[in-house]
Amino acid sequence: MFEDTKVPEGINKETLEHLMNPQNYGKMEHPSCVGVALDEKTKEYVIFYTLLDADTIKDAKFATNGCQDTVVIGSMFTQMIINNSTQYANTAIEKIVKKLGKLSIQQQICADIVFSAFKASLINFEHIQNGEKEELHLLKMKESCEVVEDKEGESNE
């Protein structure tokens, strides 16, 4: 779609495609499990819906009230893990970080909130398998994606 588009330095065409046309965004009607990661300071969250068939991720969707970095990472990550094993999904976290290249501190935290929501969904699945009646599993983030300005007024990005 963006073959003839001049991409700004530091952004690859795949990232631009996910920015302009996010994949797998929205609510899943009948997921196997649901995980939520919450930044209590900013109230940013990611809800991760996972449909499992044994150890295979048959479908994945996410929703967020977060920034465009969170949407892009959620889109790229869900595309990578659908029709793969949960074990592969854990290695996909490392692969996507390499694919994105050098991330600012804020972008890394955006990635972490997506990955944490996915991990929370797997914890939810484990709890359900153990007979617990848990609608979703919530993980609270230790790091906030809020940009803090230093004394000279520059952001910490």
The percentage of residues in the chain with a pLDDT greater than 90, rounded to a whole number, is 58
Go through the domains of the chain in sequence order and give each one's CATH number: 13-140 (3.90.1010.10)
Cα 35 from chain centroid (whole Å): 11
72 closest CA partner among 137, 10, 14: 14
136 closest CA partner among 77, 49, 42: 49
Residue 8: pLDDT band with limits 50, 70, 90: low
Q: Of the ranges 57-61, 63-67, 95-99, which is most confident? A: 57-61
